[in-house]
């Protein structure tokens, strides 16, 4: 299997790994972008978490004049409707699902696997998690949007998946309107996302990190 390259960080030193968090970066970044947050989450070893931070492939990106950079899919326009390359997004989601499969093969219960994503990484995480055939532990959606909302087939096993949406009220890259729209769409599909905003731009802030940590603890238990 040709898996996406990734950074892996296991929090436990003396306990077995019993949970996995696969965390997708945003446009132009790589897996290192969120790896540095692991210590700030202050998660005890008892949670038994392995973090997986995959690297997106480098492709030409239309909104950046075709410049080649790490991206989960091409984006054709930056307007609120986000015209993008569907086939590339779906292929990225499939490759993330391959990483989920690998975690299950490593002995992790699917219900203790969380998919997280920032910006376009979050759009991929939404699709990969909600269409995955087995029940997953949760979706963490950071400063992102539900790009495939009108064409996804949601797995019956993930109709009750915990979802935590975080968005900056001053986000000029992915306007908060898109976060709100994602929440409304998910609710219309029968899901119950938790939604929280922060006084920030297209970024991550300390209070958000604390809230993410609390959510991980709630979802995974001790």
> Choosing from 55, 86, 101, 202, which is the catalytic residue?
202
From 119, 127, 143, 182, the catalytic residue = 119
Rounded CA separation 222/208 (Å):
21
The question of whether 74 is a catalytic residue gets the answer no
Q: Which of these is catalytic: 25, 33, 171, 182?
A: 171
Q: Could you confirm whether 171 is annotated as catalytic? A: yes
Contact 46, 36 (CB under 8 A): no
Annotated active-site residue 79? The verdict is no
Per the CB < 8 A criterion, the answer to whether 137 and 150 are in contact is no
Instruction: Check residue 138 and give left, alpha or beta (phi > 0: left; psi -120 to 50: alpha).
Output: left
Burial of 2 (0-12, 13-18, 19+ CB in 10 A): exposed
Among candidate residues 140, 134, 130, 131, the one with its CA nearest the CA of residue 110: 134
Residues identified as active-site = 119, 171, 202
């Amino acid at each position: 299997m040709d898996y996406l390259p990734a950074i892996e960080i296991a929090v436990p030193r003396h306990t077995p790994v019993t949970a996995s968090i696969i965390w997708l970066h945003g446009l132009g970044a790589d897996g290192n972008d969120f790896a540095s947050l692991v210590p700030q989450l202050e998660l005890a070893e008892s949670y038994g978490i392995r973090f997986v931070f995959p690297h997106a492939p480098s492709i030409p990106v239309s909104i950046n004049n075709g410049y080649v950079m790490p991206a989960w899919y091409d984006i054709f326009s930056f307007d609120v409707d986000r015209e993008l390359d569907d086939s590339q997004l779906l292929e990225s989601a499939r490759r993330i699902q391959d990483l989920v499969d690998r975690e299950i093969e490593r002995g992790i219960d699917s219900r203790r696997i969380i998919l997280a994503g920032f910006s376009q990484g979050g759009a991929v995480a939404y699709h990969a998690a909600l269409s995955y055939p087995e029940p997953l532990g949760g979706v963490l959606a950071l400063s992102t949007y539900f790009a495939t909302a009108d064409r996804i087939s949601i797995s019956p096993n993930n109709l009750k998946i915990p979802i935590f949406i975080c968005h900056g009220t001053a986000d000029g890259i992915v306007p908060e309107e898109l976060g709100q729209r994602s929440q409304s769409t998910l609710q219309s599909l029968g899901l119950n996302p938790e939604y929280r905003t922060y006084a920030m731009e297209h970024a991550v802030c300390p209070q958000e990190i604390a809230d993410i940590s609390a959510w991980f603890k709630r979802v995974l238990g001790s």
